Amino acid sequence: MAHGLTPRGYRPRVVDAEMEDSLAASPAVLVEGPRACGKTWTGKRFARSEALLDATASSLLASNLDPAALLEGPVPRLLDEWQLAPEIWNPMRRACDERGSAGQFILTGSANPPDDITRHSGAGRMLRVRMRPMSLFESGLSDASISLAGLFAPGPCSVPDRGLSLNDVMEAVCRGGWPRLLNADLRTALRATRGYLDEISRTDIARVDGVARNPIGVRKLLSSLGRNTTTEASFATLAKDTADEQGAIERRTVSSYVAALERLFVVEDLRAWKPHTTSRAQLRSAPKRHFVDPSLAVAAVESNLESVMQNRKYAGLLFESLVVRDLRVYGQTNNLDLSHYRDSDGLEVDVIIKHPDGRWIAAEVKLGSEKGIEEGIRSLHRLRTKIDPDRSGTPSRLVIITASGYGFEHPDGVSIIPITSLGP
């Protein structure tokens, strides 16, 4: 359902199918996600007219004087960065009721506005679609020859080695899935992503809810989140990690900053899975810390590809974050839920992928060494023995996701799948 506003060079997104379905089912669709992830271009692809509320002072002035005037135009009408003109919410809601038809408005926003702006419910009038930076499939590094949804069905997974190296994949980690940076040289991309975090620290985090925050403190927290990416670091741990000669950020302040970063869609933690088990081990409930894109972690610690490649442990954490990003993109279109597992026996499994009907897949993420794969296989089999099959079911598949190489069925009954062959 592409229209005349589709930007030249638009790359299809996994979320496009969800957008089409949502516009057919609801008067308005709110597209949410971090700044620069491609929301506006996706909105344009489905829109017949637009009001770019962050582009011109006249649009903002019009929204203050007569917000309803911005709603006039061929539909679907794109209201880009609507939270900059929050007065438009109620007229939009009324227009949805009066027109009584699906596909009237597309709203995009890179921040969740304060609750009082949307206090009049959008229920029955609006569906929300979450966007994230581009997956490897969307950016062209994965051929999607293996479907994530298809992994719930029996059958072997076998794909050839596509010839991509670990360096290629880690470059994608450092570059990130930002559409405007896909063709930039890596040095430029790294500089742009650092600037992205600086802008969040100085401006965006205060704009999200009108609360003034110390930009230096925010930047220190972002650095700590970068060092602790893909770990279960608590607020107290993050607070302690920000300590320098000027002191540490208080735990309560860390909690407030993280909440604001979540509203900006900059961080997106992975919650803990709570299945029924046959073990006496206690399940851990702490979430894993993730940026919405692994490039933000690289930028937060002011690193680069060479430094990442020299630190195998940190490279592994960043790669896990990339895999979680891609699984979220692929899983959303299939209503799959993601979590992680950890218990008091020290057993950790990186990702649990749960189907709406209760079936589940357990996945370990490994860069690809033989030793790492063997460790992952042992963890997956330990998990299988701990889950109560009568109450939580048995896994549809055990998977190890690697950076590159062949996809094959391991003799121990585990599917080895390179992320460069995975898709929705």
pLDDT in tens, 256-296: 999 999 999 999 999 999 999 999 999 999 999 999 999 99
86 confidence band (pLDDT: 50, 70, 90): confident
381 confidence band (pLDDT: 50, 70, 90): very high
Q: For residues 221 and 209, give the distance between their C-alpha atoms in angstroms, rounded to a whole number.
A: 18
**20 three-class SS:** helix
Mean pLDDT of the chain: 93
pLDDT in tens, 355-371: 999 999 999 999 988 99
Average pLDDT over residues 92-112: 92
| Whether the predicted pLDDT of 67 surpasses 80 | no
Average pLDDT over residues 127-138: 97
pLDDT in tens, 312-333: 999 999 999 999 999 999 999 9
Average pLDDT over residues 1-14: 85
pLDDT at 241: 96
pLDDT at 95: 94
Q: For residues 416 and 405, give the distance between their C-alpha atoms in angstroms, rounded to a whole number.
A: 9
Q: What is 332-382 written as a DSSP string? A: HTTT-EEEEEEBTTS-EEEEEEE-TTS-EEEEEE--S-HHHHHHHHHHHHH
Q: Which residue has the higher pLDDT, 89 or 54?
A: 89
| Whether the predicted pLDDT of 59 surpasses 70 | no
pLDDT at 81: 86
pLDDT at 223: 98
pLDDT at 245: 77
Of 132, 126, 161, 117, the C-alpha closest to 22 is 126
Average pLDDT over residues 56-62: 59
84 confidence band (pLDDT: 50, 70, 90): confident
pLDDT at 113: 59
Q: Which residue has the higher pLDDT, 58 or 128?
A: 128
pLDDT at 65: 66
Residues 6+ apart with CB under 8 A from 292: 33, 34, 37, 132, 133, 265, 266, 267, 268, 325
pLDDT at 207: 80
Of 226, 238, 196, the C-alpha closest to 298 is 226
Of 125, 11, 5, 126, the C-alpha closest to 77 is 5
pLDDT in tens, 171-207: 999 999 999 999 999 999 999 999 999 999 998 898 8
pLDDT at 88: 86
pLDDT in tens, 220-262: 999 999 999 999 999 999 999 999 878 899 999 999 999 999 9
What global pTM score does this model have? 0.95
| Whether the predicted pLDDT of 62 surpasses 90 | no
Helix (H) or strand (E) run with residue 77 in it: strand 77-80
